[in-house]
Amino acid sequence: MRLKSAALFLVFATALAGCNDTLDSFDASSIKDKVQHPLPSRILAEMKAKGMERNSPIAIRIFKEEGVLEIWKAKTNNRFDKIAEYEICAWSGRLGPKIKEGDRQAPEGFYPLSPYHLNPNSKYFLAINTGYPNRYDQANGRNGSNLMIHGACSSSGCYSMTDAQVLEIYAFARDAFKGGQKNVQLQAFPFRMTAENMARHSHSPNYEFWQMLKVGYDNFEVTKRPPEVAVCDRKYVFNQQPEEGKTFNATSACPPMSTPPALQAALSSYNLAYARDFDKALKKYEGKIWYDPTEAERKAIVADKRKGHDLAYAPTGSALKAGKLLSIEEFNGRSSPAGSQSQAAASANLDRTATAPASESTATAATTPAATQTRVASVPVPQANPLAAPAPVAQAKKPFWKFWQK
């Protein structure tokens, strides 16, 4: 027993760059072929009820603070709807992006996943590589490797699920690729980017980075389609049409670009409601700072879940349950913890005015308050899902902005 514990400790201590070796707590003896294992009948029935083809495209959305991974799938009208939600068993670090190898941070951003990123032979049961670092990360000098969505419920920079969960997640991606999807978009966020949450985190040193991600978040909320992602001037841009003859370069200045008019109109009305809600939320949190808990503090609240499991089972718990609102005095009285949201940086951000809506880059957008739902419905519906019926051979693929033409 001592030898087993010592070996596990050594694995946990040395695996900082990618995902650590763990014991499998899932009995897979009943799974004859994990790679081709079909989705359960309950999910297939729900897909049919929602008007989804089995092999239609998917998108993966991750929300760290809430601790959930969502699968969204295209319906026959080419809009995406949520088909599954899973509680993330373990993610390491704190809220904020991954910066460098060994920082134990799980990545945040937009990542295109191809069939190449599927790993059927993973020692963590099954795995999907997040593709970190992407073009944005590389342009900003960020590095790291082997950042995965995988089983085994333990993480050193990854998003770890139970083996039963990753079996389904892998099947969703496999079926979408079989249907012809070239890239599955992974959207990894610190939290749901509502006006309330943006105001609560407005003192974070990561706030400006999150404002940039929020533009992509908002585009998805309005269109219910994964946004087209580009990188220029070391920044993300979403659903932008470059001037004819111009292209996007991750490290060069952004070319002249524009937002499709119908999309811009929807985002503008969306922003009006967001600005109102954000201002209201700022007043609510005036004089308060949200304390982002450490990984150890998250784990402390789920000690009971680990009872009866081996050491490999290490759920990290909800950052919402472990975090707390503190007065400025209480926050400054705490010792500065290691991590992305340091005491000094958060305190310095108290001087920053956060009165503008959280989307300040090109193609600005805001989150979906209930008051704007009826207005969003007026956005032109894109063409039907091309996987639902064979497309004419001679028809060239439309650029994304054509979907918004009336």
Share of the chain above pLDDT 70, in %: 75
Give the per-residue pLDDT at 155.
Answer: 75
Higher per-residue pLDDT: 309 or 354: 309
Q: Where are the domains of the chain?
A: 19-404
Reported confidence tier of residue 349, pLDDT bands at 50, 70, 90: low
**Active-site positions?**
150, 158
In angstroms, the CA 131 to CA 111 distance is 6
pLDDT digits 0-9 by tens, 203-251: 999 999 999 999 999 999 999 999 999 999 999 999 999 999 999 999 9
Give the per-residue pLDDT at 402.
Answer: 45
Q: What separation in angstroms does the CA of 154 have from each of 129, 295, 323?
A: 15, 12, 21
Give the per-residue pLDDT at 306.
Answer: 83
pLDDT digits 0-9 by tens, 11-50: 333 344 455 434 444 566 788 899 999 999 999 999 999 9
Average pLDDT of the chain to the nearest whole number:
82
